Amino acid sequence: MYYVHQHLGIKQVVNMDNTALINLAPVLKVMLLGLCVALGPISWWWLKNGQAQSTKRLQTLTFLTLFLTFDLIIFGAFTRLTDSGLGCPDWPGCYGSASPWGAHAHITAAQNDMPTGPVTHTKAWIEMLHRYLATSVGVLIMVLTAFTWLSKYKSHAASHSHNDNGNNVRMLADYQINATALINPWWPSFSLFWVCVVGAFGALTVTWKLFPAIVTLHLLGAMLLFALLCKQAAMYKVASSQTMIVGISAQERLALWLTFGLLWLQMALGGWVSTNYAVLACNTFPTCQNSWWPAMDFESGFTLWRELGLTASGGNISFSALTAIHYSHRIAAYLVLMALFGLSWVLRKNPSMRSSAHWLAGLAIWQLITGLSNVILDWPLIAALSHTAGAAALVLIMTWILSTTTVERTLTFSIQSNSKRNIKHKSGDFVEHPL
């Protein structure tokens, strides 16, 4: 088994047996359990939208997958914060079984040896439920990819159907199929590829025993998957004319991208704080350890390729290194908050962007409150989960804004270009979708 001991507020994993880190024997059973979890939302989706138009079906499935991916991110944070990441010390199963039920004897023995260790019945179930949910999200993305390509094929076939005179013309009468054609199926295809990458990092998180760089990349990968699905959801909204493209200035567009970049940097720093258990290195605010500039070891703290709790040379990481990790995240938070409030102030001047601006400001305040709660209230679980949820919500809002805005000159040119490509037919005028 593996046990965890405390050193300067962080946890170190120590190998105590010869448990195989990768055991593929239960892989099919684990996949089947993930499929069973996915059948619930898939069945609901089909019963509600089976008779709907292609665009409506795909739009609903995209939003459903987006919602479950958000849940997966939060549950992943819960798994990490409850120290359940090694609840099953092998992958993809638990001691070679598809569920903790089959590993009951192994888990009991490990729990009896160390009741507060990483392997307990509760932690094993938390870890395996996380894996089942991750597999179900992968199944949903597979279904989304398959149906998007199928709709693309149907749209292509419809566009080359014959009219009554036998001439080969482009048919735009079925708007829903035509709108579906505007959604490039390579988007869900890349999402399918990326969810496999995220899953691989999840496997490495277990087999490399909470290696900080791997855990942080796992978190960032999940956030990127969330952003990809959000992009597709926004595209469907625009294609169905439920959301309009808003023209903004080039300066505002640049400010959006810069703020988005700062947000990703801050999430990387936040993940680094969490994976190194450095949240409580600063237990006062606005100072840290009652000092505006406490003793900090940035070199050791930000040596990326090292084991948990250790320096690159193999020694125990110092408290000053943990302080450097925490304080860097706090300083960056000030920059991100100023950028979010500034961006919100600029966007609210545009009536079409006022709601998005309010969301940005509200989520910035939410992150400030939940972040302070982690320090002042001694890192309660609910505060940490709320902080992660707020970060995911900011990714959602920022991705949505970037997907539904464009520089005013580009928007004008697009409208003019499309107006020239209107198709005229004897039976009436067919106008292409402005996208």
| Domain end point (choices 208, 243, 278) | 243
How far apart are alpha carbons 181 and 167 in whole angstroms? 22
Same domain, 315 and 426: yes
Q: How far is CA 113 from CA 14, 383, 423, in A?
A: 14, 32, 75
Same domain, 250 and 236: no
Q: Three-state DSSP class for 162?
A: strand
Q: How far is CA 370 from CA 211, 359, 383, 387, in A?
A: 26, 16, 5, 5
**Cβ neighbours, 10 Å, residue 176:** 19
Is residue 186 a part of any domain in this protein?
A: yes
Q: Three-state DSSP class for 315?
A: coil
Domain range for 269 is 245-435
**CB-count exposure of residue 166 (10 Å: 0-12, 13-18, 19+):** exposed
| Domain end point (choices 193, 221, 243) | 243
Is residue 167 a part of any domain in this protein?
A: no
Q: How far is CA 286 from CA 255, 327, 391, in A?
A: 28, 11, 21
Is residue 361 a part of any domain in this protein?
A: yes
Same domain, 292 and 202: no
AA letter at 14: V
Same domain, 238 and 310: no
Same domain, 251 and 400: yes
How far apart are alpha carbons 154 and 61 in whole angstroms? 18
Same domain, 5 and 152: yes
- Looking at residue 423, its pLDDT comes to 37
Q: Which residues of 244-264 are buried (b: 16+ CB within 10 A; e: fewer)?
A: ebbbbeeebbebbeebbebbb
Q: Considering its fold, how many domains does the chain have in total? A: 2
Same domain, 201 and 342: no
Q: Provide DSSP, 44-110.
A: HHHHHHTTS-HHHHHHHHHHHHHHHHHHHHHHHHHHHHTT-TTSSSSEESBTTBSSTTTTHHHHHHH
Reading the chain (435 residues) residue by residue, the pLDDT tens digits are 333 444 444 444 444 455 688 889 999 999 999 999 999 999 999 998 877 787 888 999 999 999 999 999 999 999 999 999 999 999 999 999 999 999 999 999 999 999 888 999 999 999 999 999 999 999 999 999 999 998 888 776 666 554 444 444 443 334 444 444 457 899 999 999 999 999 999 999 999 999 999 999 999 999 999 999 999 999 988 887 777 888 899 999 999 999 999 999 999 999 999 999 998 899 889 999 999 999 999 999 999 999 999 999 999 999 999 999 999 999 999 999 999 999 999 999 999 899 999 999 999 999 999 999 988 887 789 999 999 999 999 999 999 999 999 987 655 544 444 444 443 333 333 333 333
Q: Which of 402, 434, 408 is nearest to 421 (CA)?
A: 434
Question: Are 366 and 337 a contacting pair, CB within 8 Å?
Answer: no
| Domain end point (choices 243, 270, 285) | 243
Same domain, 155 and 261: no
The continuous run of DSSP H or E covering 407 comes out as: strand 405-407
Same domain, 237 and 252: no
Task: Give the end-to-end CA distance of the chain in Å, rounded to a whole number.
Answer: 57
How far apart are alpha carbons 41 and 135 in whole angstroms? 13
How far apart are alpha carbons 71 and 189 in whole angstroms? 21
Same domain, 304 and 316: yes
Asked whether the CA dihedral 40, 148, 236, 428 is positive or negative, the reply is negative
Is residue 273 a part of any domain in this protein?
A: yes
pTM reported for the whole predicted model: 0.87
Whether a cis peptide bond, with omega within 30° of 0, leads into 286 is yes
Q: Which of 304, 312, 108, 123 is nearest to 206 (CA)?
A: 123
